[in-house]
A = this chain, B = another copy of it.
Amino acid sequence: MMHGIFSITHRDPSCLARTGRLLLPHGEVETPVFMPVGTNGSVKAVDFSVLDDMGIRLILSNTYHLFLRPGVDIIREAGGLHSFIGWQGNILTDSGGYQVFSLAPFRKIREEGVYFRSHIDGSYHTLTPEGVVDIQTAFGSDVMMPLDVCTPPGISKKEAEEALEITTAWARRSKERWESLREESGGLLFGIVQGNFFHDLRRRSVEEICALELPGTAIGGLSVGESFPVFQEFLAFTAALLPSEVPHYLMGIGTPEYILEAVEQGIDMFDCVFPTRTARNASVFTRSGRISLRRERFTRDFGPLDPECTCYTCRRYTRAYLRHLFKAQEIMGPVLATIHNLHFLFTMVEEIRESIREGRFSRYKRAFLARYQEGTRADENE
């Protein structure tokens, strides 16, 4: 079942990188695209008007968090998630599976679904594949993700295989429910590939998930604690197996290094809390590397965060002032640094798209990284 929601517009001749257009209920999105994360229905420290102005048309939000607080009923009563949070761009909601495994103080996986306790108040809850589709339908999510089982590196093959099998079974049930609700939801359901760090399991998962012919495919279970070379290997291996014509979403990555790696392997979508979280911790991207504004050397640095950046923060404020805001624990430190980091990544991804259109992505990647990584190392060694 293809939905005609995705069209590839350019392919880079030297690798798998491609540009495309993703047609979602709340408007078209150019790919590759970075999705800022709005866990609780707010991209932390940045107003939606800023995202509007940056041209951001797709964010990620979190089913687990919103299910626990404020709860599905309130979002439904508000008229859906877009209306509740006051944003009319597209929203992809993850399934909550990842958060159940990483946040809940207790969880038990059964064939029917997952039982867990809330990390907020310890209350007991159940999520089933069908329930998760129902919740995302109530949210009015533009892209829904099915409940899956994400596993860390280092587990046995048997455990990885069990997680894979549950993930596939749940994906089938999710699809069934999603299809039965198509009339009340315009949202798309993507599949999620698991398989841990075993080549044959990754291959099997791709085959099983892609057989469902969902409108998009995500790679889950990467960037979960493995080394960068292992990430590279399993990304390249898995991405190459995906059908070319659907959008490829790599879950949970968002540093410049990981983004460039992902795009090179034909990934179209990615999300990560890193750019916003690291900004709140006074760490900002520049062309010449990621720098910590807490460094002594910025005390009297009256230049912008990045002299090549055109974001609001760089046009108005200096490194010395931002450093002062962080030292004085002023809220505007995180706010202004977040604006900068999102603008930086958004601009970088725009440049990536341009380089693909012009068939020079590999050169762009090399040039970007040479300068960026040298600066990052220099800052870290201070």
Interfacial residues, chain A to chain B (CB-CB below 8 A): 40-42, 44-49, 65, 69-70, 74, 77-79, 84-86, 280, 299-300, 302, 312, 316-318, 320-321, 324-325, 327-328, 330-332, 334-336
A325's contact among B40, B46, B77, by CB below 8 Å, is which? B40
Nearest CB in chain B to that of A84: its residue: B321
Q: A377 to B324, alpha carbons, bound, how many Å? A: 40
Residues of B close to A324: CB separation below 8 A:
40-41, 69-70, 74, 84
Q: A330 to B331, alpha carbons, bound, how many Å? A: 11
Residues of B close to A79: CB separation below 8 A:
302
Residues of B close to A84: CB separation below 8 A:
318, 320-321, 324
Q: Are A78 and B47 in contact (CB under 8 A)?
A: no
Number of copies: 2
Residues of B close to A327: CB separation below 8 A:
69-70
A84 to chain B, nearest CB (A): 6
Q: Are B332 and A42 in contact (CB under 8 A)?
A: yes
Residues of B close to A302: CB separation below 8 A:
77-79
A35 to chain B, nearest CB (A): 18
Q: A312 to B47, alpha carbons, bound, how many Å? A: 11
Residues of B close to A280: CB separation below 8 A:
331
Q: Are B316 and A40 in contact (CB under 8 A)?
A: no
Residues of B close to A316: CB separation below 8 A:
48-49, 86
A118 to chain B, nearest CB (A): 13
Q: A280 to B330, alpha carbons, bound, how many Å? A: 12
Residues of B close to A331: CB separation below 8 A:
42, 44-45, 280, 331, 334-335
Q: A258 to B331, alpha carbons, bound, how many Å? A: 27
Q: A41 to B322, alpha carbons, bound, how many Å? A: 11
Q: Are A312 and B74 in contact (CB under 8 A)?
A: no
Beyond A74-B320, A78-B302, A324-B69, is A44–B312 a contact (Cβ under 8 Å)?
no
Q: Which of A45, A65, A70, A77 is packed against the most chain B CB atoms within 10 Å? A: A70
Nearest CB in chain B to that of A77: its residue: B300
A330 to chain B, nearest CB (A): 5
Beyond A42-B330, A325-B42, is A320–B47 a contact (Cβ under 8 Å)?
no
A86 to chain B, nearest CB (A): 5
Q: Are B85 and A45 in contact (CB under 8 A)?
A: no
19 A-B residue pairs with CB within 8 Å: A40-B324, A40-B328, A42-B328, A42-B332, A44-B330, A44-B332, A47-B336, A48-B316, A49-B316, A69-B327, A70-B299, A70-B320, A74-B300, A74-B320, A79-B302, A84-B318, A84-B324, A331-B334, A331-B335
